[in-house]
């Protein structure tokens, strides 16, 4: 049974994978963490494009994937248009910071976007942000080092960086000029949402792209006649140490890890 391929520069895409498995329990997934070449978000476009092409080619060659989810904001902004052009028969779903739902639900019209520097510096993000210029004030917060801390399970660094970047994302509240909605514009960040919430009032809303991406993947598979009704499963694959990915999946996947294998690549 062909699988749905999912890739990210590291373990961050597990937040998207959890949503995918909840939405599509009958699908088989192969998740590729490009940890030997991470992080993408602090690299240039040429580097990210090269790795995205290589990983996509490997997923096609080894697993014959029937669809691809680019579970990385940076890879989406840098490379998804090229991947779609090079693989026109392969349904490809990408993601972008969830500004549209944030603007739609914000009461104050003040929104902060926490993301990697690569995502925030991209032309695609600039166009997305500028499209809401008349309806919301958007503050962009580059979170240097947070992905690396999450990848390394570095609790002290995670706590320090979350405190720093939440301070930059505020002030929070429901009063005029205060931020009431934070967009988590990197797939790693939902994994430490509880730490981010320590520095926010209970009314602050966090929005990420996991559920919308999973719903879009269902629509794309259905339109292509590729939905499965069989038994779901998961293969974990990494360009680095597979035991690190296995440990991250055990810690952060919100669905059962049964049927999971981890291999290096």
Residue for token digits 């559920």?
Answer: 211
- Give the pLDDT confidence score for residue 44 in this predicted structure: 86
The closest of 65, 109, 62, 107 to 90, measured between CA atoms, is 65
Residue 97 or 156, more confident: 156
- Give the sheet arrangement for strand 110-115, strand by strand: 137-142, 110-115, 181-184, 205-207
Name the class of domain 99-207: alpha beta
**Where is average pLDDT lowest: 43-57, 160-174, 241-255?**
241-255
Q: How far is the C-alpha of 118 from the C-alpha of 92, rounded, in Å?
A: 21
Q: pLDDT (tens digit, 9 = 90+) per residue, 195-205? A: 999 999 999 99
pLDDT at 257 > cutoff 70? no
pLDDT at 40 > cutoff 50? yes
Q: pLDDT (tens digit, 9 = 90+) per residue, 123-148? A: 889 999 999 988 999 999 999 999 99
- Give the pLDDT confidence score for residue 258 in this predicted structure: 46
- Give the pLDDT confidence score for residue 244 in this predicted structure: 85
- Give the pLDDT confidence score for residue 259 in this predicted structure: 45
Q: Percentage helix, strand, coil, to 5, in the chain?
A: 45, 20, 35
- Give the pLDDT confidence score for residue 265 in this predicted structure: 53
Residue 167 or 123, more confident: 167
Query: How, if at all, do strands 181-184 and 92-93 pair?
Result: unpaired
- Fold entry, domain 4-95+210-264: Rossmann fold (3.40.50)
pTM of the model: 0.88
- Give the pLDDT confidence score for residue 176 in this predicted structure: 94
Average pLDDT, the chain: 92
Mean pLDDT of all residues in 19-40: 93
**Residues known to be catalytic:** 72, 186
Q: pLDDT (tens digit, 9 = 90+) per residue, 175-199? A: 999 999 999 999 999 999 999 999 9
pLDDT at 122 > cutoff 90? no
Ranges of each domain in the chain: 4-95+210-264, 99-207
């Amino acid at each position: 049974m062909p699988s749905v391929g999912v890739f990210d520069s590291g373990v961050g895409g597990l937040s998207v994978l959890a949503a995918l498995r909840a939405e599509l329990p009958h699908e088989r997934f192969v998740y590729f963490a490009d940890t030997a070449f991470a992080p993408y978000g602090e690299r240039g476009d040429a580097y990210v494009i090269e790795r995205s092409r290589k990983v996509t080619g490997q997923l096609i060659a080894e697993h014959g994937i029937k669809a691809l989810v680019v579970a990385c904001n940076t890879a989406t902004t840098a490379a998804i248009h090229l991947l779609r052009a090079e693989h026109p028969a392969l349904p490809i779903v990408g993601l972008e910071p969830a500004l549209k739902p944030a603007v739609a639900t914000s009461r104050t019209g003040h929104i902060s976007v926490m993301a990697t520097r690569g995502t925030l510096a991209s032309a695609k993000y600039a166009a997305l942000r500028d499209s809401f210029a008349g309806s919301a004030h958007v503050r962009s917060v580059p979170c240097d080092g947070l992905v690396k801390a999450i990848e390394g399970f570095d609790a002290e660094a995670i706590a320090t960086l979350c405190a720093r970047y939440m301070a930059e994302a505020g002030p929070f509240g429901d009063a005029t000029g205060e931020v009431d909605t934070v967009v988590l514009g990197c797939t790693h960040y939902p994994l430490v949402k509880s730490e981010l919430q320590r520095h926010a009032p209970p009314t602050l809303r966090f929005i990420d792209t996991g559920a919308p991406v999973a719903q879009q993947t269902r629509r794309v598979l259905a339109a292509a006649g590729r939905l499965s009704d069989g038994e779901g499963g998961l293969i974990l694959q990494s360009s680095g140490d597979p035991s690190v990915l296995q440990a991250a999946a055990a810690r952060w996947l919100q669905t059962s890890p049964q049927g999971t294998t981890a291999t290096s690549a």
